[in-house]
Amino acid sequence: MEFTETACAKINLHLEVLNKRDDGYHNIFSLMVSADECDLLQLEELENNRGNDIVNIRILPKGGTHEWLMSTVPLHENLIARAIKAYFAKAGIGGSVVIGVQKNIPAGAGLGGGSSDAAATLRLINSHLHYFSDDELMKLASTIGADVPYCLVGGYALCEGIGEIVVQLEGILQYWVLIVHKNLHISTRKAYEALGRNTRGTYSSIEIENKKKLFKEGFIKGDIGIFKDVLKNDFEEFAFHMYPELQSYKMQLKSRGADYAAMTGSGSSIVGIFKDYDAMRKAEKWFHAQEIQVIGAQIV
C-alpha cells in the first residue's frame, strides 16, 4: 500500500473565462497539462474513529526548494487541511492525520500547487480508507477548489464549468516547459473582476467546439503547432498591466526558441513551451544570468 503521492504542477495552455454565473462563480474553458515539477506528500499517520467527528491534523515540512512556504500558510487556510476535513466530514468520521510535505511548487504562481497538494491528499486518504468511488472523490474535490478536480486526475484535459468538468485527452506532447516565476502576487478575485464578465457568454459554442477539435487533433499528433494560434489566457491583459515585466518575460521566451509562451492561471508565472530541449536549457541559463527565477520541467 502506497504511503506517498506526488502532486504535480498544472499548467493552463489555454484559459478563457466565458461568463459569470448566478452563484457568483465563473464558467471557464481551459486546456490543462501537468509538469513534472512536483511536491511529494507522505502519509505518516492516519486514524479514523466513527465515535466522533473531531479531526486532528498536522502538516509537517519535509524539505523541498520551497519548504519555507509551509510555515507561511495557517492550518485553516491550507488546502491539505481542507481536503482532510472535507473527506472526514463527507465520510461522517473523526480521527487524526499527519502528512509530511516536500514542497517544490511555488505559491501564487498559477501552477496549482495548493490544489495539487489537496488532490494528492484525497488520493492518499482514500487509498487507505476506501470510502468513495472515483466519481464521488471528484465531486468532493470540486468542493475544495476549482483546480482540485483536474489535479485529482492530472495529465492532459479540457476543463469546463468552474473547473469541475474534466475531460481527459488522448495522445502525448513531448515538450519541455520553462516556468518563469518572480514571486509576484496577483489576486484571483481582482483578476476576475477586471474581466467584467456578465451572464451572457463571451465566446460562442461554435468557437469552443472548434477549439476542442483542434486541441484533440494536436494531442493525438503530438504537435502543439496545430492549435497554438488559438491559445490564449484571458487574464494576461490585467496581469501585464499590473506587472509589465511579465509581458517582457513572455517576449523573451518566444525570442529564445519557445514554440509557445503565455501566463498560466491567473498568474503570475509565465511558461514557455519548447520542443527543443537544448533551446530550453539555453533560455534557462539566460534567465538565471538575469537573476530571474526559472524552473525547467517536462510536460507529462
Q: Which residues are catalytic?
A: 10, 147
Q: 265 with 286: CB under 8 angstroms? A: no
Nearest alpha carbon to residue 163 among 26, 270, 262, 36 = 26
Q: Which position has the grid cell 509537517?
A: 60
Grid cell of 198 as nine digits:
456578465
DSSP, residue by residue, 68-134: GGGGTS-GGG-HHHHHHHHHHHHHT-EEEEEEEEE--SPSSSSS-HHHHHHHHHHHHHHHHH--S-H
Alpha carbon distance 35, 281 (integer Å): 16
To the nearest 10 degrees (0 to 180), the angle between helices 277-289 and 244-255 is 140
Q: How many helices (H) and strands (E) does the chain have?
A: 9, 10
Report the half-sphere exposure of 176 (CA within 13 A, side-chain side): 19
Alpha carbon distance 191, 224 (integer Å): 27
Alpha carbon distance 165, 10 (integer Å): 16
For residue 183, count CB atoms less than 10 angstroms from its CB and return exposed for 0-12, middle for 13-18, buried for 19 or more: exposed
- Residue type for position 39: D
Name beta bridge partners: 98: 45, 58
